[in-house]
Chains A and B, each alone.
Chain A
């Protein structure tokens, strides 16, 4: 089971207040209602808190899709999946 993606899905549902969100690696901002540059800041903060990590400025604005984001998160976790 991909626990990072599951946890990430939880975060998205919380941030966008939408329990129906379902993520894949290919999901982009165009696929999620309300994912704009302002809500992206909320999303980043929520991910950092959930995974106890921090993103660099370059990382924050460099994710092309959710797969990119998940890979970056995995790379920062102490015990990669």
Chain B
């Protein structure tokens, strides 16, 4: 039986490439890349090893040292994976940013992380140029589609690669070596950098095998963007660490395209998100009769609670089960899940993974009785647990109490040990599986001259689970119009991210705040839903 960790080598990128070649998989397809126009390119484990070695050498040639932060701002692409693995090989810290990010989102992440190097492409360079003066630690930008260096600081990827060799000796990497930095939104303040370490490979490989139930010769497809923790743990590390062939698709969501891939690539295990599955549900059932999904064994879902209706739809139309899984950026890998071999209770999160101790605690920190709601907490110490919030050690400490990590989710456990998600205990908005902080959106909207005050909440939505709703108080003598709505929408889309764009605006005379000036989102939510506002004794007069 193959062992994952050999001679104390925990380096994720080595395990995903060189170790696979050493185990006899050099010629096996690691990644089948399908472009938006459906051109296929196969990358063997050996080609992945060489490509990531070249990036590692490129980074060392530039003087990048272990522990330094190197970020990418790229669309999903093979190069993104080569670069990610190359960064990890030299023990630098990899940060992947969504290609949909606007300047504010980029500035927050690059600034907080102190990234010294960024990989991007020509068409994204304009955004970087506009914020670069505020990023003193960002020394160089490497552009993957620039044939020649533009300056001493804007460099050509292909030119640098031509000077980098294909062999690289990965240094012995301890389990506690920092690896990946993911940013996640909170209900207050800027996004926080969630720092993981190389020992996460133990959980990434284990859950990939044991929960997602992927076998050696399976074809696996995770649709998540690598900017998301799922896209790293299960779109890169899980399958590669296990020598499995995976699909990467560069196009946007489109039902027919996705089902063509499932059918033509003979995908056995498919990992996707509830919003995508709900969008598929909206298609005519006839569409699916034209596809042969005989190879597809299991479907898994992550990001938001999976509605029982989606599970029913899949059983009736696709004749497949969908297993819902639950985890967070901070947990790194699946903690609680439905999975093959465990009867599905539609709507539940499932049961904890074998090594995970999940409990429901009350405000006093005591375990509550089954069926009683409380805070979902996890016994600290699983391998993929984050090790800090970068530059925010105090907030990291606040997430732990008596040896338990507080997830911020409210849930309950039933009498048979299944967990059921109820909601968030904070104001973070989960829209289409993306966590969005209201503060980021409010900050962007307040930059506009027309906006006097703004409060943002998440409201229930059938498709996206939650949608972003912005309550706006306009400056005096201004009237609401579609033109103004467009201006506000574009401000959020282009400054923060399209995922953060409010789907609804409500124009109000005042934004409720408490006596310390904090926005009372609870009151905004009750305005939105038409429910009673509850205790408003702290409301500002």
| Chain A partners chain B | yes
Q: What residues make up the interface of A, taking CB atoms closer than 8 Å to B?
A: 14-18, 20, 29-30, 33-39, 41-42, 45-46, 48-49
**How far is B498's CA from A35's CA once the two chains are assembled, in angstroms?**
9
Q: What residues make up the interface of B, taking CB atoms closer than 8 Å to A?
A: 36-37, 75, 99-100, 102, 123-124, 126, 250-253, 482-483, 485-486, 489-490, 493-494, 498-499, 501
Q: By the criterion CB–CB under 8 Å, are B36 and A39 in contact? A: no
CB < 8 Å neighbour of A45 from B102, B250, B486, B494: B486
Q: By the criterion CB–CB under 8 Å, are B483 and A49 in contact? A: yes
**How far is B490's CA from A56's CA once the two chains are assembled, in angstroms?**
22
Q: A18-B123, A18-B126, A30-B36 are in contact. Are A42 and B486 (CB under 8 A)?
A: yes
Contacts of B37 in A (CB 8 A): 30
Q: A45-B485, A45-B489, A49-B486 are in contact. Are A38 and B126 (CB under 8 A)?
A: no
Contacts of A48 in B (CB 8 A): 482
Q: By the criterion CB–CB under 8 Å, are B490 and A14 in contact? A: yes
Contacts of B489 in A (CB 8 A): 41-42, 45
Task: Closest A residue to B279 by CB, please name it.
Answer: A37
**How far is B489's CA from A16's CA once the two chains are assembled, in angstroms?**
11
Task: Closest A residue to B485 by CB, please name it.
Answer: A45
CB < 8 Å neighbour of A37 from B99, B253, B494: B253
Q: By the criterion CB–CB under 8 Å, are A17 and B251 in contact? A: no
**How far is B121's CA from A20's CA once the two chains are assembled, in angstroms?**
14
Secondary structure call for the B interface: helix
The 10 A-B pairs at the shortest CB distance, nearest first, are namely A30-B36, A17-B494, A38-B498, A39-B498, A33-B123, A45-B486, A42-B489, A36-B252, A46-B486, A42-B493
**How far is B482's CA from A42's CA once the two chains are assembled, in angstroms?**
11
Q: By the criterion CB–CB under 8 Å, are A34 and B501 in contact? A: no
Minimum CB–CB distance for B278 against chain A, Å? 12
CB < 8 Å neighbour of B501 from A17, A33, A38: A38
Minimum CB–CB distance for B96 against chain A, Å? 16
Number of CB contacts from chain A to chain B under 8 A: 57
Minimum CB–CB distance for B3 against chain A, Å? 42
Minimum CB–CB distance for A19 against chain B, Å? 8
Q: By the criterion CB–CB under 8 Å, are A30 and B251 in contact? A: yes
**How far is B501's CA from A77's CA once the two chains are assembled, in angstroms?**
30
Q: By the criterion CB–CB under 8 Å, are A20 and B123 in contact? A: yes
**How far is B494's CA from A54's CA once the two chains are assembled, in angstroms?**
24
**How far is B93's CA from A38's CA once the two chains are assembled, in angstroms?**
31
**How far is B37's CA from A41's CA once the two chains are assembled, in angstroms?**
23
New A-B pairs, 5, CB < 8 Å, besides A17-B490, A42-B498, A46-B490: A14-B490, A30-B251, A38-B498, A38-B499, A48-B482
Contacts of A15 in B (CB 8 A): 490, 493
Contacts of B485 in A (CB 8 A): 45
CB < 8 Å neighbour of B252 from A17, A37, A45: A37
Q: By the criterion CB–CB under 8 Å, are A42 and B490 in contact? A: yes
**How far is B26's CA from A41's CA once the two chains are assembled, in angstroms?**
45
Q: Which residue of A18, A42, A49 has the most chain B CB atoms within 10 A of its CB atom?
A: A42
Task: Closest A residue to B500 by CB, please name it.
Answer: A38
Contacts of A17 in B (CB 8 A): 102, 490, 494
5 A–B contacts from the bound complex (CB under 8 Å): A14-B490, A34-B498, A36-B100, A36-B498, A42-B493
Contacts of A46 in B (CB 8 A): 486, 490
**How far is B252's CA from A38's CA once the two chains are assembled, in angstroms?**
11
Task: Closest A residue to B431 by CB, please name it.
Answer: A38
Task: Closest B residue to A16 by CB, please name it.
Answer: B494
Contacts of A30 in B (CB 8 A): 36-37, 250-252
Contacts of A45 in B (CB 8 A): 482, 485-486, 489
Minimum CB–CB distance for A79 against chain B, Å? 24
**How far is B480's CA from A32's CA once the two chains are assembled, in angstroms?**
30
Minimum CB–CB distance for B283 against chain A, Å? 11
Minimum CB–CB distance for B509 against chain A, Å? 25
**How far is B482's CA from A37's CA once the two chains are assembled, in angstroms?**
20
Q: A38-B499, A45-B485 are in contact. Are A33 and B490 (CB under 8 A)?
A: no
Contacts of B253 in A (CB 8 A): 37
**How far is B231's CA from A40's CA once the two chains are assembled, in angstroms?**
24
Contacts of A42 in B (CB 8 A): 486, 489-490, 493, 498, 501
Q: By the criterion CB–CB under 8 Å, are A33 and B486 in contact? A: no
Task: Closest B residue to A34 by CB, please name it.
Answer: B100
Contacts of B498 in A (CB 8 A): 34, 36, 38-39, 42
**How far is B486's CA from A37's CA once the two chains are assembled, in angstroms?**
16
**How far is B507's CA from A11's CA once the two chains are assembled, in angstroms?**
26
**How far is B501's CA from A41's CA once the two chains are assembled, in angstroms?**
10
Q: By the criterion CB–CB under 8 Å, are B124 and A33 in contact? A: yes
Task: Closest A residue to B103 by CB, please name it.
Answer: A17
Task: Closest A residue to B483 by CB, please name it.
Answer: A49
Contacts of B99 in A (CB 8 A): 33-34
Minimum CB–CB distance for B60 against chain A, Å? 31
Task: Closest A residue to B123 by CB, please name it.
Answer: A33
**How far is B493's CA from A34's CA once the two chains are assembled, in angstroms?**
9
Contacts of B486 in A (CB 8 A): 42, 45-46, 49
Q: By the criterion CB–CB under 8 Å, are A39 and B482 in contact? A: no
Minimum CB–CB distance for A40 against chain B, Å? 9
Q: Which residue of B37, B126, B485, B498 has the most chain A CB atoms within 10 A of its CB atom?
A: B498
**How far is B443's CA from A28's CA once the two chains are assembled, in angstroms?**
32
Contacts of A18 in B (CB 8 A): 123, 126
Q: A18-B126, A34-B99, A39-B498 are in contact. Are A49 and B482 (CB under 8 A)?
A: yes
**How far is B489's CA from A17's CA once the two chains are assembled, in angstroms?**
12
Contacts of B100 in A (CB 8 A): 34, 36, 39
Minimum CB–CB distance for A55 against chain B, Å? 14
Contacts of A41 in B (CB 8 A): 489, 501
Q: By the criterion CB–CB under 8 Å, are A29 and B126 in contact? A: no
